[in-house]
Amino acid sequence: MKKITKTIVALILALVTVLSLTACSSYPKLKKAFVKEGYAESESVEKVVDSIKEDFEKDKLAVECHLLSKGISFVLICEFSTTDDMAKAFNDSETMQGLIKDAKKNDDLKAVYSALEDTGLVKGNCLVIPISIINTTEVVKIVKNA
């Protein structure tokens, strides 16, 4: 009886762990929202995405990068493992700070995340960077509605 109880507890813990790891990402919702608006995942610039990912990994940040395109508009979605990693990446990157001018660098990671959220370019653990100035308003609308 003890063996069965231990097995059941182990299975429940494993299931909870798997569900908590898969449920935390906002990328599937974001991708669905962008695809609905006519964007498609772009594999033709995979080297650029890999280069961005390598830069984050140099700073010991786990991140997945996805590039979606619609005509001449591109959207880079950086999927961080945690929101604190996202805030740290923003604080450490002058490039990100230049692209997202409405958020400011801050030592308090929660304040940085909150400021990024206020820009409308953050959903959960994903930071959305519009690479086209033409449709920035459209991108913010898609992120907020995802």
pLDDT confidence of residue 61:
81
- pLDDT greater than 70 at residue 15: no
Between vectors from CA 30 to CA 28 and to CA 33, what angle results, nearest 5°?
Answer: 110
DSSP 8-state assignment for residue 146: -
- pLDDT greater than 60 at residue 136: yes
Judge whether 67 and 76 are in contact, CB under 8 Å: yes
pLDDT confidence of residue 35:
92
Using one digit for the tens of pLDDT, what is the confidence trace for 17-31? 433 434 468 889 989
Judge whether 48 and 66 are in contact, CB under 8 Å: no
**Residue where the block lists tokens 């590039």:** 67
- If one counts every other C-beta atom within 10 angstroms of the C-beta of residue 118, the result is 11
Using one digit for the tens of pLDDT, what is the confidence trace for 78-116? 999 888 888 888 888 887 777 777 677 777 788 888 888
Tell me the three state secondary structure of residue 130.
strand
Q: Tell me how far apart the alpha carbons of residues 127 and 116 are, in angstroms, rounded to a whole number.
A: 8
Judge whether 131 and 74 are in contact, CB under 8 Å: yes
Using one digit for the tens of pLDDT, what is the confidence trace for 43-78? 777 777 888 888 788 878 888 889 998 888 888 899
Strand-pair category, 73-80 with 122-123: unpaired
Strand-pair category, 122-123 with 40-41: unpaired
User: Could you state, in order of their start, the residue ranges of all structural domains in the chain?
Assistant: 25-145
pTM of the model: 0.71
